[in-house]
Structure 1
Amino acid sequence: MLRVIGNFWEVSMSRNIIALVLSFSLAAFFAPNASWAAEDHVAEAIQHTKEAIDHGKQGHANILADHAQVGLQHAEAAEKEKANPHTESAIKDLKDAAEHGKLGHADVATKSAESALGHLSQVK
């Protein structure tokens, strides 16, 4: 009888340890950590804005619009995290770039994207 209780204790302890390790692993994975949870939205906005400019120079207005839209989403997320007048200006320019890109105005959209890139590069 004691042996069964002893085995039960050993099995129960090993299950408890596994559950504890799994819990800590999940908590560490999903914990709001600045290096994990906070994506660098400004860097992403810059990257997509550069892509938009490259496609605009090639006359690909629709692809420019797509990249400007993604860059806009990241710029808006950066603005929510930390307000900045340069981010605010970049948002306006990226909206303009996306709108003109959808209309097929690659040249105008490219200029707006270049202006947005200038503002985004000044965000600190």
Structure 2
Amino acid sequence: MNRRVFALALSLSLGLAFAPRLAFAENHLSEAIAHTKQAIDHGKQGHGDVLATHAEQALKHAEAAEKEKANPHIKQGITHLEKAIETGKEKKAEAATKHAEEALMHLEQAK
């Protein structure tokens, strides 16, 4: 009986130890997706500089999500966000929007 109680307590504590990490990774990924969508909206309006600002926020969250839970789709999303930032700052809204859309596709696949 004592062994069963100990085993149950041990498994519950291990489960609780890992659950917050997964929740934080999901939260960062959701934030990255939300900022990427905002970046795309501004890019479609021709606002490359505002696109870059939202893409930078998305990048921070994507990097945090990648750090907490490695995923090849997040890595690809990060690559495209970096390109979106670079081209957005060059006032090339159309090209930056395409990179942001690619980033969004990969980030959504990571969920």
Q: TM-score range, shorter-chain basis?
A: 0.7 to 0.9
Question: Hey, what does 2:103 align to over in structure 1?
Answer: 116
Shift of 1:38: 2.5
What is the aligned length? 91
Distance (Å, rounded) in 1 between the aligned partners of 2:70 and 2:24: 15
Stretches of 4+ aligned residues off by more than 3 angstroms: none
Shift of 1:105: 0.4
2:74 and 2:106 in contact (8 A); partners too: yes
Q: Which TM-score applies when normalising by structure 2?
A: 0.78
Greater CA radius of gyration, 1 or 2?
1
More helix by share: 2
Q: Which TM-score applies when normalising by structure 1?
A: 0.70
Question: Hey, what does 1:4 align to over in structure 2?
Answer: none
Distance (Å, rounded) in 2 between the aligned partners of 1:67 and 1:38: 20
Structure 1 unaligned spans of 5+: 1-32
| Greater relative contact order (CA < 8 Å, ≥ 6 in sequence) | 2
Query: Is 2:55 the counterpart of 1:68?
Result: yes
- CA RMSD in angstroms comes to 1.6
Structure 2 unaligned spans of 5+: 1-18
Distance (Å, rounded) in 2 between the aligned partners of 1:59 and 1:44: 23
